[in-house]
Amino acid sequence: MSDSTTLSRGDYDALIFDLDGVITDTAQTHRKAWKEVFDQVLEEHLGADYRPFDVDDYRRYVDGKPRFEGVRSFLSSRNLHLPEGEIGEGPDLETVYGIGMEKNERYQERVAEGQLSVFDDALELLEAAEQARFGLGLVSSSRNAGLILEILGLSDRFGARVDGQTLAEENLAGKPAPDMFVEASRRLGVEPRRAVVIEDAESGVRAGRAGGFGLVIGLGRGGEEECRILREHGADLALTSLAPLKVVDEEGKYG
């Protein structure tokens, strides 16, 4: 693709979106829930002089990854090695699984309080892509993806959804492995080289690149520095908004 921001149905058959931070404004909700939990864990295990969990930690160790992998990754970055615990155990701050469940409980509380919304530019792009007859896929590491889409009335928008629940049920590797995106393209009946990945996380951009997708778009809503980082991790194109993206059908119309 050149400097153009037009996606043609003649070049690509499908758009595959990440959820948090791309379509829904829930990335901040996730980050706040993680910070509450991790700061409490750090204080309990490292004392009052701990360095708090911050935006850079979220981007480097957690964003886009399966929940428990994110716990392991962040704890390791602070030289903390806690027991794994048991799959399905309840929330606590003493094990990897317990911490993951504690975060999920706090995240769901925020969602129930209405702390989520859809980005207008994403909704406009989805509507235009439907009109131009693109296949639409959704990939999210979150097991709450289905719930979020249902709450927002977006469940019927996507011809394929591969989320944290799918990852567990089908034993797929999480991002930055390409498995989830490849599975979404398979469900859409599209070759990866004919699909566009739209991601805001470093791990997701790396997954799209590793999967051989035709175009990997990095979305850095936080500004040009985020875009620079996404390009470094393999994004073909990095934007601060989806608004510049236009979609057209095979005849250059409808989008």
Catalytic residue list: 18, 20
Distance CA 16, CA 180 (A): 10
- Determine how many CB atoms are found less than 10 A away from the CB of residue 191: 14
CB under 8 A, 24+ apart: contacts of 147-156: 147/111, 148/19, 148/24, 148/26, 148/111, 148/116, 149/19, 151/111, 151/116, 152/24, 152/116, 152/117, 152/118, 154/23, 154/118, 154/126
